Structure 1
């Protein structure tokens, strides 16, 4: 559910700024708990009656609203959540050879959104099943650092949990501590993002893969990976790759084609706008242009529309037009396609 926000109420510490780092336990819990706040729109007469300070607060609330990424339940998100929930149930009583999920595709096609929404759904269900229990950690989310080593990945798990890691701590000690804490905390899902940073053709990459496999064998949870075109990067090659391929279901992501889903996505984003002079339907009338401009990339579409909305407030035009959209630079991939 969304909650209306008093347009003149001051923010406690400026606009909403909860802990947003998903790779920490507090940040993840903040993400799960977050409820979007929809600013109340004032009439022209009500805005005219505002003091300068009140008008600044009112506009700041709308600016803040448009900086937040609206999560839309695309077919990719829905499919990922369905597959992930199914695997979690199938793994519930498994003592070995638990199955996992890999979400793979080009950059900007919603992989991180899909797995984090899966994790959020799992945590909310776990909380509902165990009300009032505060010592559970249903979900862990980490990212694989560039040029990662096995120790670096183990430290990412420890950092998420807030466990102290000394310079002299060896990887065995870190692994044992992390596995012990997560087992006691009844973790159910482990989300590992940026999997493309692992290369099985290098020694360090192979060791990282072995470390993740060790975690999956020691921790009774469903492991969910996400990365850019990982199946093309040799993830399923060799003995290690065969083991991964034999245990993980692959969910591919891709740019959205121009179809009813794309049109519905544009309409949903337009409905979220809080602009005073924007004519309803004027953005959906540009859905073909938006598809051509973004090449069907969800991330690029969100960036484009939110950027144009911010400009509309900052310039006072209060509406999104094609010329305003043309003024928003996109990522190199979209601009060069």
Structure 2
């Protein structure tokens, strides 16, 4: 799978979507998700940029581009996208039983949220490729675990907010909420043909909250055709706790939870070991730099140094290189060097 396959195959009416940097969308709203789905980051062409030596501000196209750069295909992302595609494909047209769920687990900073979002984008694109563009269809919902998690009301709120449902007794008094939005949510999800719900931050659930949370999520699933993608550090253990608590599992003690840490497939994102995979990731970042004086293979030659600085974590590597690139543009040095990288904090093993 190459980088282009990270992006969904967008139908013609969507291919004109964002090709320039935009304000990062809030993914937990329908409008924000659609903006992120349609957004296509594109590296600026140096011939179209401010001439060498020109003083630029934070809104310069190269400065904005190097705040994020293009997605890089890590081993976890490549494997996770492949596994998710298979799981979602087999679940789409099954009529009996719940759709299969997935878990994205791994270390902090290893790209779990990126994997979950790219899975959502890919599935959204697959649906539009198969059935065409329909503004009334919402194939994917992206949520984060709500700050208050007691009762159906609090769990219903993020669903209602994403779908744009009015969840207040009085629209002018946004703090006065209705009792429960579950019925409207179920009705709307069926009407707009939602098939995938991504819930990020599942690790925020306290142990005492897990059973009630999964009762609610499974209640929604029993009345719709949705698959869940549950994402967070330790998500596998959260799912295990939900599946094998005392009131759910009527299995002999020697079987209950002893063999399987999760009855959902787990997509794992971890630190990248030093070796060929790491070299490919570093080279991909280097190829995407848009600088006047950067010497090719400089970062690749610093591959071992970069692994030591970042621990092999893709998020830390991304922040390190992006900061260095922006600094190189702002100062006019136009190159990422070890001297510059030494001066940038990563948060992993920095010596003050």
Give the TM-score, by structure 2 length.
Answer: 0.81
SS in 2 for 1:39: coil
Moved over 2 A (4+): 15-19, 55-59, 145-153, 230-237, 239-247, 333-336
Offset from partner CA, 1:233-282 (integer Å, 9 cap, x none): 67435245879966411122210100111100000001111111110100
Q: 1:157: Cα distance to partner?
A: 0.9
More helix by share: 1
Aligned to 2:47: 42
Which of 220, 226, 237 is the aligned partner of 1:221?
A: 226
Against the structure 1 CA distance between its residues 335 and 205, is the aligned structure 2 distance closer, same or farther, given a 3 Å change threshold? Answer: farther
Aligned to 1:101: 102
Aligned to 1:257: 273
Aligned to 2:299: 283
Structure 2 residue 185 is matched with structure 1 residue 181: no
Structure 2 residue 161 is matched with structure 1 residue 156: no
Contact 2:240 2:262 in 1 (8 A): no
Contact 2:102 2:264 in 1 (8 A): yes
SS in 1 for 2:346: coil
Aligned to 1:90: 90
Aligned to 2:127: 126
In 1, the alpha carbon distance for the partners of 2:326 and 2:136 equals: 41
SS in 1 for 2:302: helix
Q: 1:58: Cα distance to partner?
A: 11
Contact 1:59 1:313 in 2 (8 A): no
Offset from partner CA, 1:155-207 (integer Å, 9 cap, x none): 11111111111134112xx11111111111111211111110112x31x4432
> Which range is displaced more, 15-24 or 273-282?
15-24
SS in 1 for 2:43: strand
Stretches of structure 1 that go unaligned for 5 or more consecutive residues are: 3-14
Contact 2:103 2:236 in 1 (8 A): no
In 1, the alpha carbon distance for the partners of 2:292 and 2:24 equals: 31
Aligned to 2:12: none
Q: 1:153: Cα distance to partner?
A: 2.5
Q: 1:146: Cα distance to partner?
A: 4.0
Please, what is the CA RMSD of the aligned residues? 2.7
Which of 235, 257, 260 is the aligned partner of 1:230?
A: 235
Against the structure 1 CA distance between its residues 157 and 66, is the aligned structure 2 distance closer, same or farther, given a 3 Å change threshold? Answer: same
In 1, the alpha carbon distance for the partners of 2:31 and 2:129 equals: 19
Contact 2:30 2:162 in 1 (8 A): yes
Aligned to 1:70: 70
Stretches of structure 2 that go unaligned for 5 or more consecutive residues are: 8-19, 169-175, 250-255
Aligned residue pairs total 314
Against the structure 1 CA distance between its residues 169 and 69, is the aligned structure 2 distance closer, same or farther, given a 3 Å change threshold? Answer: farther
Contact 1:97 1:247 in 2 (8 A): no
Which of 277, 294, 298 is the aligned partner of 2:314?
A: 298
SS in 2 for 1:20: coil
Give the TM-score, by structure 1 length.
Answer: 0.85
In 2, the alpha carbon distance for the partners of 1:101 and 1:21 equals: 23
> Which range is displaced more, 130-139 or 155-164?
130-139
Contact 2:140 2:194 in 1 (8 A): yes
Larger RCO, structures 1/2 (Cα 8 Å, 6+ apart): 2
Q: 1:126: Cα distance to partner?
A: 0.6
Which of 27, 43, 48 is the aligned partner of 1:22?
A: 27
Against the structure 1 CA distance between its residues 64 and 42, is the aligned structure 2 distance closer, same or farther, given a 3 Å change threshold? Answer: same
